[in-house]
Chains A and B, each alone.
Chain A
Amino acid sequence: MNNPQLNAQGELTHLLTLEGLPAAVMVRILDTAVPFVSIAERDVKKVPLLRGKAVFNLFFESSTRTRTTFEIAAKRLSADVINLNIGVSSTSKGETLLDTVDNLVAMNADMFVVRHAQSGAPHLIAQHLLATKRTHIHVINAGDGRHSHPTQGLLDLFTIRHYKKDFRALTVAIVGDILHSRVARSLIHGLTTLGTPEVRVIGPQTLLPGAVESLGVRVFHDMNDGLRGADVVVMLRLQSERMKGSLLPSAGEYFKHYGLTADKLARAKPDAIVMHPGPMNRGVEIDSAVADGAHSVILPQVTFGIAVRMAVMSMLGAAQ
């Protein structure tokens, strides 16, 4: 796939994936997000950058949290936000994805935030806009299939940088269902691009992709080994439908081997941070005492996520 997310000047014009995104652009997004964090602490939690712009949240797959944080981000930039739950409207009447997009462009959309179960759907929309020379309209991938979830990856990077400052001295362990996780994939691309020397993935063989080492990570099947000396521990959500197939024996068994408890966390560095993209399954991938404990930065992740999405939208909003 070619990468239409940068324009001829090298500016970000769509955000589709962190794979292949230059480090300078990633750092620029993270830097731009910093001043947006404090907007939430003001009397008026709004700045006028996207005043008069229309942001369409196109969610072909439901996700309350991601949609809500994009909606808050757009509203804090003063954009008008239109939420479309497409799963239950146009496509069920037979309209194609690109026809839906063209109709919304006819309603003067300026930005699309796209969540889709099919990998590549946001990319397809961006290509279509480019091919029809509508370069003033921007696409943000809010999660496509198993492929990518770039704003989640960026908010994870922002959180890590906030607490640990420099990626070039860190050991980051990502634990759980790597195989089905677009969050893990995006974070791995981000971490390696920004020079993280050691990125580990920890999980059972059945939940790791075949050639996962080719992403530049070290593989561990034993959590006690994998967490040793880690600065950052990222727990992934275990989707309950994985239990129904043959991938895993039971939630209890999974927790015993791969659930994060205080005992297992003691293998990591004393000042390690614990992250989770949410929503959490307490007692499945993470123990409540850890989720609510001193190492946890799970709620700051949510807050930073809004600032990071504001940064992305404000960078795209002025690009041509």
Chain B
Amino acid sequence: MNTSGLPDAEATLAELVERMADAVAADARIVGIYSGGAWLAERLAELLPGNHPVGYIDVSFYRDDYTKKGLRAKVATTTLPFEVGGARIVLVDDVLYTGRSVRAAINELFDYGRPESIELAVLIDRGGRELPIEATYVGARVAVARDVSVVLNRHLDGGLELTVEPAGSAPRE
């Protein structure tokens, strides 16, 4: 593992919280994209002012590379324990890259109802978009080579850490 060039995950999360604190609606639902985004969603719900129910999305059934790559072995269950119709939603992911996961997550949200609004918060924006998608809130922007994946890890004590791994060896972003 090589962590050179990546910011500290906990410090970046603190910056993200600072940017979101005054902007996010007090009743916004926070929806994390598995798995990194789910950890972040839980942290954000605690750290942001207001009362934020947390939901989780696994976008596997909405990915555009299904016919090429098939389904992942462990698909988690999407859990949105609130009414999506009319809700203000903050979608959370660890790393924003091509934008394809976010596209899939927005599609899935609409199969639960018509949200009032959807914002996007990401810990890391590494550029390289293939779709016209941008984050509303960004922790840090980093430049990394195309052939590596930026991966968020969670330690047993709950602490977060960013690492880079060769693309393809890590779980898909």
Contacts and interface: CB of A to CB of B under 8 A. Distances in A.
Contact of A11 (B70, B79, B84, B113): B70
Contact of B61 (A37, A48, A315): A48
B71 A314 contact: yes
A36 to B, nearest CB: 8
A44 B75 contact: no
A48 B70 CA distance: 13
A233 B67 CA distance: 40
Interface string A11-55: 100000000000000001001101101100011101111000000
- Which of B66, B78, B79, B108 has the most A CB atoms < 10 Å from its CB? B66
A314 B63 CA distance: 13
Contact of B76 (A11, A28, A35, A44): A35
B65 to A, nearest CB: 9
Contacts of A35: 58, 60-61, 75-78
A32 B75 CA distance: 6
A319 interface: yes
Contacts of A294: none
Given A35-B61, A38-B78, A49-B61, A318 B66 contact: yes
A42 B79 CA distance: 10
A158 to B, nearest CB: 14
Contacts of B67: 317-318
Interface string B25-38: 00000000000000
A38 B55 CA distance: 14
B74 A42 contact: no
For chain B, which range describes its interface: under 10, 10 to 19, 20 to 34, or 35 or more residues? 20 to 34
A34 B113 CA distance: 22
B112 interface: yes
B157 interface: no
Nearest to B111: A44
Contacts of B146: none
Contact of A315 (B69, B71, B85): B71
Interface string A299-320: 0000000000000001101110
Given A42-B111, A315-B70, A319-B70, A48 B75 contact: no
A48 B84 CA distance: 19
Given A47-B111, A314-B61, 10 more contacts: A32-B71, A35-B76, A35-B77, A37-B77, A43-B85, A44-B112, A49-B66, A49-B71, A315-B70, A318-B66
Interface of B: 58, 60-62, 66-71, 73-79, 84-85, 107-108, 110-113
Interface of A: 11, 28, 31-32, 34-35, 37-38, 42-44, 46-49, 314-315, 317-319
19 contacts: A11-B70, A31-B75, A35-B75, A35-B76, A35-B77, A38-B77, A38-B78, A42-B111, A43-B84, A43-B85, A43-B112, A43-B113, A44-B110, A44-B112, A47-B61, A47-B108, A314-B61, A318-B71, A319-B70
Ranked 10 nearest A-B pairs via Cβ = A318-B70, A44-B111, A47-B61, A35-B77, A35-B75, A38-B77, A43-B112, A43-B113, A318-B66, A318-B67
